[in-house]
């Protein structure tokens, strides 16, 4: 069945436009409460990031859940991965996060976690959508859910993060520039790194409801690069609005993206003979990551873009490491979902273990130049059946000589086809991408 509301990462959109309205959130709370309470009354945790609309949607979800007879515990502003962790430790039926991740404040959304701290299955999402089609009927007054607040939620999660770092190590003597994107980690991340011994220079830690992701975070690391250089920091850490993504900056002010960070974590585990299985990337993962892992005889496979697809591939193969170029990394040997703070700690542990700088660790992977052009597409077209496109792709791959790759991918969110080429020489890559995009455009026109 096709889902009406749920996308690859929950439900998301512009605040005030369906379905991101208070009315819908009330019904969503009731519908999800009905599904999660089928076996028992249960408990559902609600967390949120720092955008202003989160307060409104928190109240609506709380009312909907209580009207379905479900108990609710409020976490307040908390990173998405903290919700996953606390859902497990409280033995809750589910966790709900109110967040639009790296989007601007005028967007918002809902993410769910199962009682095990994992993303919901398609079956559960479809069950919730089925309930949304029903008339909302409140339980009897003596069955209404109770609502409480977990006042020590932040402290619990800080201790969990610290427990993921070896008790035999510390960050004393390390200077870290930290960008919290004015998001959900603002009161968490600085404490984690400071309590492990680092000197922390923070930015993006003064949320006002409107500045989340505005001038920084994992999607806009330029100010962090400048701060690293000004403060002569050992490295920079950039998180996104809900704390599940990580981008880093080395001491020279160079960005270290998700592919490079995934390589560093995998390479450290491989060298220490701790790596279980291989690594999962996506269609967008840099060819250099695949090549570097191949040189180390570490298996690498690609999943569709989206952390749920990476997670599914890891589960299928019983592997523990995967991620995306955007910095959404999965370290399933440590936690159940993408966690920017936990991922950063894995990288810092590798630096200490091998007495190397961030810059030195990333040199094991050669990043290939990558160029992408979005070609407008008004209707769905099977590009594989277009003779001219197939021929152009084959010719492009021939010119790359096995030292690069071609990707044509319809966007899941925009009416475009993404045309991407990777190769060793940047000017050649740009030229080949432009040539291929012209062919694709002609066929789609």
Give residue-wise pLDDT tens across range 227-273: 999 999 999 999 999 999 999 999 999 999 999 999 999 999 999 99
Q: Distances from the Cα of 431 to the Cαs of 210, 395, 443, in angstroms?
A: 40, 13, 19
| 101 classed as catalytic | yes
| 264 and 343 fall within a common domain | yes
Q: 400 is in which domain, residue-wise?
A: 370-444
Q: Are residues 48 and 168 in the same domain?
A: no
Tell me which of 340, 362, 384 is where a domain ends.
362
Q: Is residue 207 part of a domain?
A: yes
Give the pLDDT score at 412.
Answer: 66
Is 218 inside any structural domain?
A: yes
Which one of 37, 53, 99, 101 is the catalytic residue?
101
Please count the structural domains in the chain. 3
> Could you tell me what percent of the chain has a pLDDT over 90?
90
What's the pTM value of the predicted model, to 2 decimals? 0.93
Query: Does residue 242 sit in the same domain as residue 318?
Result: yes
Answer yes or no: do 208 and 353 share one domain: yes
Mean pLDDT of all residues in 23-47: 93
Assess whether 170 and 244 both reside in one domain. Answer: yes
Q: What tens digit of pLDDT does each residue of 102-131 get?
A: 999 999 999 999 999 999 999 999 999 999
Residue 181 in any domain: the answer is yes
Same domain for 198 and 314? yes
């Amino acid at each position: 069945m096709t889902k009406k509301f749920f996308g690859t990462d929950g439900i998301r959109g512009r605040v005030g436009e369906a379905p991101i309205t208070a009315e819908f959130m009330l019904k969503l709370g009731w519908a999800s409460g009905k599904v999660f309470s089928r076996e028992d009354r249960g408990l559902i945790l609600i967390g949120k990031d720092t955008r202003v609309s989160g307060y409104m949607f928190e109240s609506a979800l709380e009312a909907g859940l209580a009207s379905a007879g479900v108990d609710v515990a409020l976490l307040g502003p908390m990173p998405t991965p903290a919700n996953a962790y606390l859902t497990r430790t409280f033995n809750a039926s589910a966790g709900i996060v109110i967040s639009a991740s790296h989007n601007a404040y005028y967007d918002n959304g809902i993410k769910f976690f199962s009682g095990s701290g994992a993303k919901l299955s398609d079956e559960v999402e479809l069950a919730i959508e089925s309930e949304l089609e029903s008339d909302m009927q409140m339980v009897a007054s003596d069955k209404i859910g109770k609502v409480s607040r977990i006042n020590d939620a932040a402290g619990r999660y800080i201790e969990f993060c610290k427990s993921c770092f070896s008790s035999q190590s510390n960050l004393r003597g390390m200077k870290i520039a930290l960008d919290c994107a004015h998001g959900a980690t603002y009161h968490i991340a600085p404490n984690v790194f400071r309590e492990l011994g680092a000197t922390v220079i923070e930015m993006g830690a003064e949320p006002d409801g409107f500045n989340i992701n505005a001038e920084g975070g994992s999607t806009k690391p330029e100010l962090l690069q400048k701060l690293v250089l000004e403060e002569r920091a050992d490295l920079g850490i950039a998180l996104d609005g809900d704390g599940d993504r990580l981008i880093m900056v080395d001491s020279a002010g160079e960005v270290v993206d998700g592919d490079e960070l995934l390589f560093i974590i995998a390479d450290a585990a491989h060298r220490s003979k701790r790596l279980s299985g291989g690594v999962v990337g996506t269609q967008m993962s840099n060819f250099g990551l695949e090549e570097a892992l191949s040189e180390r005889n570490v298996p690498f496979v690609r999943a569709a873009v989206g952390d749920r697809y990476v997670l599914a591939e890891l589960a299928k193969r019983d592997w523990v490491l995967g991620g995306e170029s955007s910095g959404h990394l999965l370290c399933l040997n440590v936690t159940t979902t993408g966690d920017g703070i936990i991922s950063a700690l894995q990288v810092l542990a590798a630096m200490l273990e091998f007495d190397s700088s961030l810059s030195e660790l990333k040199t094991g992977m050669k990043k290939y130049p990558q160029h992408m052009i979005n070609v407008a597409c008004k209707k769905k077209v099977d590009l594989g059946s277009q003779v001219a496109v197939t021929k152009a792709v084959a010719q492009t791959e021939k010119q790359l000589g096995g030292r690069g790759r071609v990707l044509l991918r319809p966007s899941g969110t925009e009416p475009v086809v993404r045309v991407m080429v990777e190769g060793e020489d940047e000017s050649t890559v740009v030229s080949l991408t432009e040539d291929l995009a012209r062919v694709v455009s002609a066929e789609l026109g």
